[in-house]
Amino acid sequence: MTWLEQEIARNQKRIDKINANPDSTKIKANKLLYELERDLRIAQLEAWKTGNKPLINSDHLPPLVYALGGIGIDSMGAADRTMLATEYFNVLRSNNFPDDACDRTIVIIALCVSKNFPPPNFVIATSFACPMECVSPKAIGEYFNMPVFHIDTTLEITDAGLTYVTDQLGEMIEFAEAKVPGIKYSEERLLYALEYDTIAHNCAKEIHKLRKRVPCPLAGQDAFRLPRIPSMYPDPKKGAEYWKQFSEEMQERAEKGYGVLPDEKLRFLWAVTGPFYFNPFDILAKRGVAVPALQFGVMSRWFGAEYGLFGDEKEYGRKLKPLEELARFLNGNTWAGVGHRWVDSTVNMAKDLKCDGIIYFLQLGCSASGGVSRLVAEKAERELGIPTLMLEGRQLDPFYKSQQESEEEMNAFIDLCLEKKKSKSK
Amino acid sequence: MHTTLSSEKGLKELTTLSLEANRTKYALQWKKDGKKVAGLLCSYIPEEIVHAAGVLPWRVFGTWQAGTPHANEWRPADTCLYCNHVLEALLTDRLEFLDAVVATDWDQELVRLWDVWRYVEKTPATIIIDVPIINTDTAVKFLAQQFTKFLGEMEKLAGRPITDDDLKRSIAVLERTRHLVKRLYELRNTETPALTGAEMLGITTAAMLMPKEEFNERVEALLPFLEKRRVPAEKSRPRLLVSSDRLDNPGHLAAIEETGCIVAMDDLDTGSRHYWRTIEIGSASSPVLRQELVSALARRYLMQPASPRMMNWEDQVDQVVHWVRDYNIQGVIELPQGFSRYREFRANYFKNKLEEAGIPVMSYRREYIVSNVGQMKTRVGAFIEMIESKA
Ligand code: SF4
């Protein structure tokens, strides 16, 4: 069974379980989510097996992939869902690929090379977050001899940068139409995709308002559950429907004053990424620590904490055209920029969400976040008086660091923050 | 004066300039003369603009000492070793004479080094240039905008405007440097080369650490001597090419050559890649506008033989294949520096394409400093044996 077939089966099992035995304590929107995930995998599998539509990697540009008439391949997103990556490191070593880079960016190469996951028929390699997110799909494209188009994003947010990236998007469309059978750009489809992505974005902004509430109505797992942008799915309308349902349920919980934790003692901002091979929120929840948000490169923007996306007119002082909206998104990832963009947005987020501490996951090989970790910690301490735990780890590799070791570090950090909070309130 | 320069002694003065004890010599003298020094962290920074401002463009190399305890307090250890060693040099006050530091986004590791540099405020000016990873016309246009901005920053640092004539003069000086260095490369393209690979790297890095005019003068004086000089025949085979980035220590190449070969050509951003491409400016008869000068610079820097940070992998391999054929090379040694991700992700492609072209290739992950020499020599020795058995 390929990885896609396993995913289809897994999601179907979840749906069947909900149908057979609905659990009123769980989020009801989950069912819709599992259906969307299953349908995405079915569409990917079909395109892979039959070639009915071109597969295009779409981690960074789902609406454009939709507008080009392709089926999106979520390269890094799929790697995230492997949970355990150990077996893939050997595949990488034997093919002369690095095995100690950020694991989500290399595991996907191994998934494709071992024929477990479809390589895209057309690769869009963008420097959206970090060099690895650009060269990983590129390496896959070159390995399978598929056309690759590169999009260069900018360090700072400027008008010139917006024009630069928009121009490249135009060139990419021309390239794709000329090189990839089955690709035809339709602005109508782009507008359709953006319409539903905007609905999701607005829901995300509403959810973000809830994150600020004390007690926090979102569980730590929910903070980590970042639903996909609707245009990633074959049916964006259904994707937006899920966002609406999810957001409404969160509102309902908040209105009922339903905090996820019976007694919220502390609030932590979780930054960068986390270990996917165990659930770090259990230990936090047990000790009364809420995690209102996961902070990463596009978080502030996607949740409207800083400038928004899709329709925001403040940032550039005007309404943007559809391709410009995509360029804004590509340049808007604070990770890919100069460090203070990420440092400032992280500390602002911690402030906004009234956090008592930051857990900063030092993901092995993450050049975006590792080199400025101390800058975040110093600024948070200086401006907010809150400490930061540098939790070293690897997203998909349990042998790099054990669950027990991570939990010990988190427990010690909770003690420190409780102590600090107590002395502040005196 | 020229007789001293045109000798083994004159050569040695150049080839040893990058040693930690020597490398600040010219920069400190420049400061003593009341002028400013800008530390450059990458080969995509237009030295011409720095030069035109009357500021010394001085390439920053890291400390060649083993540990980086101070840098490790700022950066995880599993990050670019060059950046860690540079930061160590900064934090231990070895770079305090710099008036400015200029970085690019060569990779994100370098941006993060710049972020820390800016944060610790040890250098009056910290500048970063956003260099595209592609080399289309759109990218050249964007880079020209970045260079124009950089020109303004250099004017601020110099406290005076840079005129078009300043810029043209500086372009001419730098072009002369490139011409001379390429002449030295030609002297290596013979059965018994004039210089070893380690010596050549000593010279190419020396040019980055001294005023260009003086470098040009010294190399012009050295040329008659070098034209007659020959590496002993027994040390002239097999002929290898080394490919790496931020390799500034000739000791790496010396260790390879000690196994019984010669590094007759390189694919280094501290070597050939930095000097290969010249600048094309309009037609000789019509006056050249500033914008054209800046655009020509942008084109030159984006079109130079590329580092793996650029996305034109095919051109990069073609360039190496071309050098292999042109310099009669028998094998390629790739020396990825640990945690240099662009090169590591390109490794599979690079190896496969070279092998498809019938070129033997090996890869050895190196440290920034020269270490584990024994292990490297064993690997290189086996590679040489393999090449020779096929010959
Ligand atoms: S975790 Fe860091 S290195 Fe990995 S993909 Fe994200 S930004 Fe890139």
Ligand 1, atom 2: closest residue by C-alpha: A366
Is B293's pLDDT higher than 60?
A: yes
Q: What is the pLDDT of residues B62-88, one digit of tens each?
A: 999 999 999 999 999 889 999 999 999
Query: At B3, is the pLDDT very low, low, confident or very high (cuts 50, 70, 90)?
Result: low
What pLDDT shows up at residue B6? Answer: 79
Query: At B234, is the pLDDT very low, low, confident or very high (cuts 50, 70, 90)?
Result: confident
Is B283's pLDDT higher than 70?
A: no
Give B316's contacts in chain A (Cβ within 8 Å).
none
**Mean pLDDT calculated for residue range A406-422:** 95
Q: Do the beta carbons of residue A247 and residue A239 sit within 8 Å?
A: no
What is the residue extent of each domain of chain B? 25-160
What pLDDT shows up at residue B367? Answer: 94
Is B300's pLDDT higher than 50?
A: yes
The DSSP string of B105-145 is -SSHHHHHHHHHHHHHT-SSEEEEE---SS-SHHHHHHHHH
Distance A335 CA to ligand 1 centre (A): 9
**Mean pLDDT calculated for residue range B172-186:** 97
**Mean pLDDT calculated for residue range B235-262:** 96
Nearest to B342 among A135, A142, A336 (CB): A135
Alpha carbon distance, N-terminus to C-terminus of chain B = 46
Query: At B205, is the pLDDT very low, low, confident or very high (cuts 50, 70, 90)?
Result: very high
Q: Do the beta carbons of residue B103 and residue B42 sit within 8 Å?
A: yes
Quick check: B73 and A375 CB within 8 A? no
Distance B92 CA to ligand 1 centre (A): 30
Nearest to A365 among B78, B138, B141 (CB): B78
**Hey, is the C-beta of A101 within 8 angstroms of any chain B C-beta?**
yes
Beta bridge partners of A55: A71
Is A85's pLDDT higher than 80?
A: no
To probe the interface with A, which of B81, B344, B351, B354 has the most A CB atoms within 10 Å?
B344
**Hey, is the C-beta of B287 within 8 angstroms of any chain A C-beta?**
no
Quick check: B78 and A160 CB within 8 A? no
Give B128's contacts in chain A (Cβ within 8 Å).
155, 338
- Strand B239-244, strand B331-334: pairing: parallel
Quick check: B342 and A125 CB within 8 A? no
What pLDDT shows up at residue B1? Answer: 46
Reported pTM: 0.96
Distance A129 CA to ligand 1 centre (A): 7
Distance A368 CA to ligand 1 centre (A): 6
Query: Which of A334, A363, A373 to probe ligand 1 with, by most ligand atoms within 8 A of CB?
Result: A363
Nearest to A98 among B108, B113, B344 (CB): B344
**Hey, is the C-beta of B175 within 8 angstroms of any chain A C-beta?**
no
- Decide: A102 in ligand 1 pocket, CB within 6 A: yes
Q: What is the pLDDT of residues B305-356, one digit of tens each?
A: 999 999 999 999 999 999 999 999 999 999 999 899 999 999 999 999 999 9
Quick check: A155 and B128 CB within 8 A? yes
What pLDDT shows up at residue B287? Answer: 62
Provide the CATH topology of domain B25-160.
Answer: Rossmann fold (3.40.50)
Give B91's contacts in chain A (Cβ within 8 Å).
none
Give A149's contacts in chain B (Cβ within 8 Å).
none
Which residues are CB-neighbours of A140 under 8 A, at least 6 positions away? Answer: A57, A75, A108, A109, A112, A119, A120, A123, A146
Beta bridge partners of B263: B240
Q: Where is average pLDDT lowest: A136-150, A390-404, B106-120, B335-349?
A: A390-404
**Mean pLDDT calculated for residue range A284-304:** 91
**Mean pLDDT calculated for residue range A368-388:** 97
**Mean pLDDT calculated for residue range B44-73:** 96
Helix ranges (H only) for chain B are 2-5, 8-15, 25-32, 47-52, 69-72, 81-91, 108-120, 137-158, 164-186, 197-206, 212-228, 250-258, 272-275, 290-303, 313-326, 341-356, 373-390
Q: What is the pLDDT of residues A235-273, one digit of tens each?
A: 999 999 999 999 999 898 888 877 778 889 999 999 999
What pLDDT shows up at residue B312? Answer: 98
**Mean pLDDT calculated for residue range A281-306:** 90
Quick check: A374 and B74 CB within 8 A? yes
**Mean pLDDT calculated for residue range A364-391:** 96
